[in-house]
Amino acid sequence: MNKTLLDNLQATLGPLIENSPLKDMEQNVRALLTQAVAKLDVVTTEDFEVQKLAIAQMRAPIAALEKRVAELEAKIPPPQQDSSIEPSP
């Protein structure tokens, strides 16, 4: 579509909408949407990126700790069974 046509249409319809009940309806819909979004359990993109970075930075130390625990567990000898205890029939 021609950009000039769209600009002319907007210039013509803009003032009509400003002075009509449509403007009030737009404001009401905007207010309802704002309230609905406020009730959602969402975070900003910035907060999400900060948390993503924090998690990425924690992965290496956690992997190192998991490896160390596995090494320590490998050094523990298996429990020996006491031969003086007879199994029950």
Q: What is the pLDDT of residue 43?
A: 82
Q: What is the pLDDT of residue 87?
A: 60
Q: CB within 8 A of 81, min separation 6: which ones?
A: none
Q: What is the pLDDT of residue 89?
A: 59
Q: Please, is 25 exposed, middle or buried when counting C-beta atoms within 10 Å of its C-beta (0-12, 13-18, 19+)?
A: exposed
Q: 10-residue block means of pLDDT along the chain (89 residues)?
A: 70 73 75 81 89 96 96 90 63
